[in-house]
Chains A and B, each alone.
Chain A
Amino acid sequence: MAEAILTSWRIDLRLVILLALAALLYVRGWRRLHSEAPHRYTVERLLSYLGGLAVLFLALASPLDAFGNLLLMAHMVQHLLLIAVAPALILLGQPVLPLLRGLPPGVFKEGLGPFLGWHWLQRMARRLTHPIICWLALTAALLFWHSPRWYDLALSSPGWHGLEHACFFYSAMLFWSPVIGVWPIRAYGEPGGAAWPRWMMIPYLVLADIVNTALSSWLVFSTHVVYKTYEMAPRVAGMSALDDQSTAGAIMWVPGSIVYLIPAFLLTMQAVNGVKKRRSAPLVQIRSVGQRPARSRPLDLFQLPVLGRILRLRYFRRALQIALAVLAVAVVLDGLRGPQMAPMNLAGILPWTYWRGCAVMAILLVGNLFCMACPFSFAGDIARRILRQPDWHWPKALRSKWLAIALLFLYLWANEVFSLWNSAYATAWIVVGYFAAAMAINGFYQGASFCKYVCPIGQFHFVNTLVSPFEIKARSQAVCGSCKTEDCIAGNEQHRGCQLYLFQPMKAGNFDCTFCLDGVQACPHDNVGMIAVAPGSSIRGDRRGSGIGRLWERWDAAALVWAVVFGSLVSAASMVDPVMGWMHLVYAHFGLHSMLPVTTSLYLGGMVLAPLVLAWLCGCLSSWLGRTEGGWQTAARSFAFAMVPLGTAMWVAHFAFHLLTGWTAILPVAGRIFGWAGFTVSLGIPSWLQTAQILILDVGLVLGVYLVWKAAQSQTISTGLAVRALIPWASLAIGIWAVAIWILFQPMQMRGMVM
Chain B
Amino acid sequence: MKKILYLVVMILLSGCTIEPIKPWERDILARDNMALDADPMLQLMDEQIYYSKEAASGGKGIGGGGCGCN
Q: Is B a genuine binding partner of A?
A: no
